[in-house]
Structure 1
Amino acid sequence: MKPIIGITSDIDENGETFLKADYSRAVLRAGGLPVVLPAGLEDIEEICGRIDGLLLTGGEDVNPLLFGEEPKKELGKIAPERDTMEMALAKCAMGKDMPVLGICRGHQILNVALGGTIYQHIYTDLEGPLLQHKQQADRNYPTHTVQVSEGSRLSEFASSAEILVNSLHHQAVNLVPEPLKVIATAKDGIIEALESTKHRFVMSVQWHPEALSNRADETSLNLFKGLINASKTL
């Protein structure tokens, strides 16, 4: 049987749930069965008990109150209902040693769920020259390089030690708590990927592999296959 992958969704100004189809398509391509989880979902334990893997998706900014900071003026739109649900789902899934893949916002949520912090706006929080992390090109195209750590799980999926990624964010991971470790960075030092040293499969990336998979990007497809294959062993 195909493993059931719970995919978190976003919520619009009218309270309606929505999700870019690329996420479900990528899970299907990798051999999984996607199930969209409505933003604001409350039955966390029951849902967590019925899925085989969790995909934390991209979206709006993370509420800084979750990591002990007040909102800065550069903070964008937040979705407290979504924050609450995703934090609870991430903790529940990791508590069960369920496979988890975080993407963009999901990369940041995963870090915060374990006690880490994020930069609210990299262009004011960090000094020195930074790359363009909110690209002007179509999201299906890569625009900058990422260095992948040797020996990491990501290195098993990547086509080389330096890969091309797309980039659609203005927040980024800051302090990284155990058991997470940094496994990829951009050339300006921005943390681009994390993995857990404690769990069977807990990974996150700052870019959007679901969009790159539309172009048959090998690394992106392998990320989803890794999630699906790990979910099959539960």
Structure 2
Amino acid sequence: MHVSKPLIGISTYWETSARWGVWDLPAALLPAGYPRLVQSAGGIAAMLPPDEPALAEAAVARVDGLVIAGGADVDPERYGAPREPRTGPPAPERDAWELALIGAALASGTPLLGICRGMQLLNVALGGTLVQHLDGHVTSVGVFGRHPVKPVPGTLYGSIAPEATPVPTYHHQSVDRLGEGLVPSAYAEGDGTVEAIELAGGGGWVLGVQWHPEMGSDTRVMAALVGAAR
């Protein structure tokens, strides 16, 4: 019997210049690792470029699961903090769109996975704050590092990956004060940085991971999202 595959929406971002073939043009961009991970985990990937925030509810209603992808730093204005010198330039259009997508997913109970920036934005959406710079989670510019994360037993993430797991990392920010209803579900083995967060107490399938599963071969996190979306 044919089982229909769930449609997984993935947020993307505008770039003013991208090159392919003979072209150098503005583009809606998403690293190929994201849709490939969705596909290998049993889903159909749909790219969601920034749009009017008022349309987020309609967009989320058309997908079975949602991924908020990694990328630029969240604007500190979004969590009421002054900008620190090492915080990257703001991406206001993307912040507004993805915050609206997160709100729509939370309101509708659509399974939601935040990756790196997506985890940080989930925390901000629920009233949390961020550490604007920490060392040790980027080895060099443009190169993904790797370190183990330890799950918290009894959590959603702990049920997905019950053992300490090496993961691909590339981030210089992290969650500080947790947003309302969120609990930590994994920590970095080295410095104790919160590496995964989720909604506590049966608030639906909502998970944020600080690392980049799309840059590795472990499909368990995405397969769990696809399973929940199915």
Q: Decide: shared fold, TM above 0.5.
A: yes
Q: Does structure 2 conserve the Cα–Cα contact (< 8 Å) formed by 1:135 and 1:166? A: no
Cα offset, 1:153, TM superposition: 1.5
The residue aligned with 2:116 is 104
SS of 1:94's equivalent?
A: helix
Letter in 2 for 1:146: V
| Distance in 1 (alpha carbons) for counterparts of 2:179 and 2:71 | 23
Pick one of 192, 212, 216 that aligns with 2:216: 212
Q: Does 1:19 align with 2:30?
A: yes
Q: Does 1:163 align with 2:165?
A: yes
The residue aligned with 2:192 is 189
* Structure ranking higher in strand proportion: 2
The residue aligned with 1:127 is none
The residue aligned with 2:227 is 229
Please identify runs of 4+ aligned residues in structure 1 that moved more than 4 A.
Answer: none
- Pair 168,179 (structure 1): closer, same or farther in 2 beyond 3 Å: same
| Distance in 2 (alpha carbons) for counterparts of 1:40 and 1:191 | 31
Cα offset, 1:138, TM superposition: 4.6
Cα offset, 1:204, TM superposition: 0.7
| Distance in 2 (alpha carbons) for counterparts of 1:118 and 1:111 | 8
Mapping of residues 8-87 of structure 1, within 5 Å:
8-14=11-17, 16-42=27-53, 43-87=55-99
Letter in 2 for 1:118: L
Cα offset, 1:159, TM superposition: 5.5
Letter in 2 for 1:222: R
SS of 2:166's equivalent?
A: strand
Cα displacement string for residues 94-128 of structure 1 (whole angstroms, at most 9, x for unaligned residues): 111110000000010010011111111124xxxxx
Letter in 1 for 2:7: I
% identical aligned pairs: 39
* Structure ranking higher in helix proportion: 1
Equivalenced residue count is: 215
Letter in 2 for 1:108: Q
Cα displacement string for residues 144-171 of structure 1 (whole angstroms, at most 9, x for unaligned residues): 12121111121222161x2111210111
Q: Does structure 2 conserve the Cα–Cα contact (< 8 Å) formed by 1:6 and 1:54? A: yes
The residue aligned with 2:20 is none
Q: Does structure 2 conserve the Cα–Cα contact (< 8 Å) formed by 1:146 and 1:163? A: yes
Mapping of residues 114-133 of structure 1, within 5 Å:
114-123=126-135, 132-133=136-137
Letter in 1 for 2:213: P
Q: Does structure 2 conserve the Cα–Cα contact (< 8 Å) formed by 1:118 and 1:175? A: yes
Mapping of residues 168-183 of structure 1, within 5 Å:
168-183=170-185
Point out where structure 2 has 5 or more consecutive residues left out of the alignment: 18-25
Letter in 2 for 1:16: A
Q: Normalising by structure 1, report the TM-score.
A: 0.87
| Distance in 2 (alpha carbons) for counterparts of 1:32 and 1:147 | 27
Point out where structure 1 has 5 or more consecutive residues left out of the alignment: 124-131
Cα displacement string for residues 191-218 of structure 1 (whole angstroms, at most 9, x for unaligned residues): 10011124221001000011112xxx3x
| Distance in 1 (alpha carbons) for counterparts of 2:14 and 2:52 | 11
| Distance in 2 (alpha carbons) for counterparts of 1:190 and 1:153 | 18
SS of 2:123's equivalent?
A: helix
Cα displacement string for residues 41-64 of structure 1 (whole angstroms, at most 9, x for unaligned residues): 442121111111100100011000
